[in-house]
Amino acid sequence: MSVLDVPIVLVGYGPVGQAYVRLVRGRSDALEQRYAYRLRIAAVTGRSTQCQLAGPNVPPRSEWGPRVPLARLIVATGARVVVQAYPSDPGFAAVAAEEALTAWRLGAHVVTATKCHVLAHWRRLRRASADAGLGFGVSATTGAALPAADVARHALLGYDIRAVRACLNGTSTYVVDRMGDGASLAEAVADARQRGIAEADTAADLSGADAAGKVRILAGLLWDWDVSTLDTDLAPITAATAEEAVAARRAGTRLRAVAVASVDRPGLVSVQLERLGETDPLAAIAGPEKAVSYDCGEIGVVTVSGGASSPLGAATALLKDTLTCATDPAVA
């Protein structure tokens, strides 16, 4: 059986990028035996520096050279996949979109944990990837290891999906749970940071914008809504939420920030604080876990849950999308 070489250019070498390198290095032999594809990191770039790999190990940062344009790196390495793993701040959207277009122009698939361009340039990017016949893997943008995007994209194909309800922000779930235990907002956030659940800046977690972004992408996959132009209606988590979280707990329920999109309200994604009964699958998750319920009309609700958010979780989703692109780009 001939083995197909899959050189990869990784853009971004933070916690997710580093976890991805470790995963590819650790699993490439097993994946080669199983699928006859040899995944290989060919180059890694940071903000302004880069390295090309001579073997499986990334050289120390002190040995990296200045960064060259991505197009040159793709050509030099013969990359078949470009993986994006750098900040999702809106300010990066134009750069990230240009990179993706460059990759497709040069025949490489794109797999991303970076959300900004997916949100800002949805239709343009989806069209370009389809025109090129190359993959655009976005699994890592909708809940790290949780295969929510795959469920929306493939697993429920043809189902009459009426609505999606989701808890896809581990920080907000953890913080509201801690407030239900009696912690103040500041205490709950500090605790979440100490446990590595929350990052330094929790603004997008607490405002609902992060959760809404993930559900916007799911709505794009489910109903072909234009992710970039959707309205959002967000109820933020504030210090006043503590009282409501305790009251919900006393009533035998759980307060959760639930992101919702529904065919009854086309073009809108809302994030509201809801009291959930014990039997609601969104109430069962704990800490940084995620859950998405797809309301499939008469046949009932299908829920996918678990898969705590972590750099390893995001890297695992990137690896899965990389393999999917290499083996069947029509699916990614």
Ligand X SMILES: NC(=O)c1ccc[n+]([C@@H]2O[C@H](COP(=O)([O-])OP(=O)(O)OC[C@H]3O[C@@H](n4cnc5c(N)ncnc54)[C@H](OP(=O)(O)O)[C@@H]3O)[C@@H](O)[C@H]2O)c1
Q: What residues make contact with ligand X under the rule CB under 6 A?
A: 11-17, 45-47, 85-88, 92, 95, 113-114, 140, 144, 309-311, 314
Closest to ligand X by CB, 46 vs 236, is 46
Determine the Cα angle at 150 with ends 86 and 98, to 5°. Answer: 35
Query: Measured from the CB atom, is 106 or 263 closer to ligand X?
Result: 106
Q: Torsion-angle region of residue 15: left (phi > 0), alpha (psi -120 to 50) or beta?
A: alpha
SS3 197: coil
- Quick one: 218 or 255, whose CB is closer to ligand X? 218
CB of 40 to ligand X, least distance (A): 20
- The values of phi and psi at residue 60, to 5°, are -60, 150
- Tell me whether residue 91 or residue 267 sits nearer to ligand X (CB atom): 91
Contacts of 241 (CB under 8 A, 6+ apart): 176, 179, 185, 255, 273
Q: Which is nearer to ligand X, 13 or 104 (CB)?
A: 13
CB of 314 to ligand X, least distance (A): 4
Mapping DSSP to helix (H, G, I), strand (E, B) and coil, where does residue 278 land?
coil
Nearer to ligand X, 98 or 226 (CB): 98
Kindly give, in sequence order, each residue whose CB lies less than 8 Å from that of residue 191, ignoring residues fewer than 6 positions away: 174, 178, 183
Name the pairing type of β-strands 81-84 and 4-11. Answer: parallel
Query: Could you tell me which of 211, 205, 43 has the C-alpha nearest to residue 141?
Result: 211
Least separation in angstroms between residue 83's CB and ligand X is: 10
Q: How far is the CB of 110 from ligand X (least distance, A)?
A: 14
Q: Please give the radius of gyration of the chain, using alpha carbons only, rounded to the nearest integer.
A: 20
Q: What's the min distance (Å) between Cβ of 138 and ligand X? A: 11
Q: In 224-285, which ranges are continuous DSSP H helix? A: 241-250
CB of 182 to ligand X, least distance (A): 27
